[in-house]
């Protein structure tokens, strides 16, 4: 009886896991190397940094020319991006989590946006890596 109980619990947990992962949305994203290439080749690329102003002044700094709208304010301020609706938008934050939230809002509103995978942390690490 005890063995059947454990088996039933295992099947239940497995079923929940399958349902959970099946519902996960994939976030459109780009690697830092792709962002840097786009910065060179796409003159209309918009980089949206969704960190706070304090973070932009912090240790990771910011990328020159970014538009800064913190993710907490993005829904209220989305109209500021309306003129960039036809542009490719790269969304960056510290590690990629907040940009994933911002992606959902922008793409739902008709923007062409991608999250920069691993955010400014990876961007700065990429700069520190020796070029081959």
- Higher per-residue pLDDT: 8 or 121: 121
The answer to the question of residue 14 being in a domain is: no
Residue 22 pLDDT level (bands cut at 50, 70, 90): very low
Residue 44 in contact with residue 82, Cβ under 8 Å? no
Q: Answer yes or no: is 1 within a domain.
A: no
Q: How far apart are CA 44 and CA 108, in angstroms?
A: 21
Assign residue 52 the CATH number of its domain.
3.40.250.10
Is pLDDT of 132 > 60?
A: no
Tally of structural domains, the chain: 1
In contact, 113 and 103? CB cutoff 8 Å: yes
Strand order in the sheet with 67-68: 29-30, 112-116, 88-92, 46-49, 67-68
Q: Which tokens sit at 27? A: 């976030």
pLDDT in tens, 33-75: 999 999 999 999 999 999 999 999 999 999 999 999 999 999 9
pTM (two decimals): 0.78
**Residue numbers of the domain that contains 86:** 27-128
Tokens of 38: 């786009």
């Amino acid at each position: 009886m005890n063995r059947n109980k454990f088996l039933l619990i295992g099947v239940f947990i497995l079923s929940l896991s399958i349902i959970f992962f099946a519902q996960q949305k994939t976030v459109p994203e780009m690697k830092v190397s792709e962002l840097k290439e786009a910065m060179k080749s796409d003159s209309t690329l918009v980089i949206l940094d969704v960190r706070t102003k304090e973070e932009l002044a912090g240790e990771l700094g910011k990328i020159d020319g970014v538009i800064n709208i913190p993710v907490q304010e993005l829904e209220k301020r989305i109209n500021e991006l309306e003129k960039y609706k036809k542009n490719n938008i790269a969304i960056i934050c510290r590690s990629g989590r907040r940009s994933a939230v911002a992606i959902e809002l922008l793409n739902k509103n008709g923007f062409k946006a991608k999250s920069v995978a691993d955010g400014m942390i990876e961007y700065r690490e990429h700069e520190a890596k020796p070029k081959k």
